[in-house]
Amino acid sequence: MPDGLAIDVRGMTKRFGDRVAVDHVDLQVRTGEICGFLGPNGSGKTTFIRMLCGLLRADAGSGTCLGYDVITQSEAIKRQVGYMTQRFSFYEDLSIHENLDFVARMYSMANRREAVRDTLERLGLSERRNQLAGELSGGWKQRLALAACMIHDPKLLLLDEPTAGVDPKARREFWEEIHQLAGQGLTFLITTHYMDEAERCHRLAFIASGKLLTFGTVSDVVRQSHLTTWSVSGPDLHTLAEHLRGRPGIQQAVSFGSMLHVSGDNAAALEQAIAPFRNEQYDWRQVEPGLEDVFIHLMGTSRDGAPA
């Protein structure tokens, strides 16, 4: 891989009719890195991933994926990329073993039987190999899908909301595995809506309305947002939030359990705006903005008529 970049694309653009789904997105992901890909629903995450692995033709853009031209060499890219779709996309009417075997054949693997057997063992599914994939629970389906898209030893994994609808324990195990694989040199691009998962990524890309808004490590992203956040606790926070919202200097007032996070990107204006409410009733303290504050902020500022 030249200069250790698994993904190095610029100006990737995709239009569907008049709608620009992905608008000149640049992205560089280093080999062995886990890149979290975040953004509201319909922001273009899936479209971007599909362009990377040749499932959609880009209207504009250039660059490389695993060293291959992302526009002209999608055939070669497909061989070395594992793509896990958002929706379970293996054959529910085939058994676990038959699904894995089909995938292994599709990649014309020389040691097909071995690869399938190893995968089944690693999954701990050897005994249930003849069970139909459609009968598996959500967590197991997700594990099967991950195993199947890794059967051909890909160098890059594109995982589209791999943990949606998966319980917390299974999610934790999943992320442990991802980190282990990244340690072995695999590169990951993972979309997620979970902030705890975002914080487990080496680097984050946030996309909204098809535009890349921010890119960097968690602390980079927080810093770049220039956001100041105050946390307030006290009685009837709902009414307080109503009063605060819409005041100049306050861009968001979001409930976090028994707290309210009040944020704005101008520290002075924010402090001025909350001043009338700083009385003995409420306990105000300035906090480091969390990823969620940053993302809600980004979503708010980018909402120029985009379906969010």
In the list 79, 112, 179, 193, the residue contacting another protein (rule: CB under 8 A) is 79
Q: Does 21 bind another protein (CB under 8 A)?
A: no
Contacts of 189 by beta carbon, 8 Å cutoff, 6+ apart: 7, 29, 35, 37, 49, 52, 156, 157, 158, 159
Count of beta carbons in the 10 Å neighbourhood of residue 69: 13
CB of 41 to another protein, least distance (A): 17
Q: If binding means CB under 8 A, how many residues of this protein chain bind another protein?
A: 21
In the list 37, 48, 90, 295, the residue contacting another protein (rule: CB under 8 A) is 90
**CB closer to another protein out of 85 and 302:** 85
Burial class (CB in 10 A: 0-12, 13-18, 19+), 15: middle
- Is residue 18 within 8 A of residue 172, CB to CB? The reply is no
CB of 89 to another protein, least distance (A): 4
Q: Does 5 bind another protein (CB under 8 A)?
A: no
**CB closer to another protein out of 54 and 162:** 54
Query: In the sheet where 211-216 sits, what is the strand order?
Result: 81-84, 156-160, 187-191, 34-38, 203-208, 211-216
User: Which value, to the nearest 10 degrees, does the dihedral of the CA atoms of residues 6, 79, 133, 193 take?
Assistant: 20
Compute the distance between CA of residue 115 and CA of residue 112 in angstroms, rounded to an integer: 5
Applying CB under 8 A, the span of 78-86, 122-130, 187-195, 201-209 interacting with another protein comes to: 78-86
Q: Does 284 bind another protein (CB under 8 A)?
A: no
Quick check: helix, strand or coil at residue 247? coil
Q: Does 88 bind another protein (CB under 8 A)?
A: yes
Q: Residue 297 carries which DSSP code? A: H
**CB closer to another protein out of 91 and 282:** 91
Contacts of 127 by beta carbon, 8 Å cutoff, 6+ apart: none
In the list 41, 72, 89, 111, the residue contacting another protein (rule: CB under 8 A) is 89
Compute the distance between CA of residue 37 and CA of residue 19 in angstroms, rounded to an integer: 21
Q: Does 37 bind another protein (CB under 8 A)?
A: no
Q: Does 91 bind another protein (CB under 8 A)?
A: yes
Applying CB under 8 A, the span of 1-9, 25-33, 77-85, 119-127 interacting with another protein comes to: 77-85
Q: Does 210 bind another protein (CB under 8 A)?
A: no
Compute the distance between CA of residue 134 and CA of residue 151 in angstroms, rounded to an integer: 20
Binding pattern to another protein, positions 107-146, x when CB under 8 A? x---------------------------------------
In the list 5, 103, 201, 227, the residue contacting another protein (rule: CB under 8 A) is 103
Quick check: helix, strand or coil at residue 156? strand
Question: Could you list the residues that contact another protein (CB under 8 A)?
Answer: 50, 53-57, 75, 78-79, 81, 83, 85, 87-92, 103, 106-107
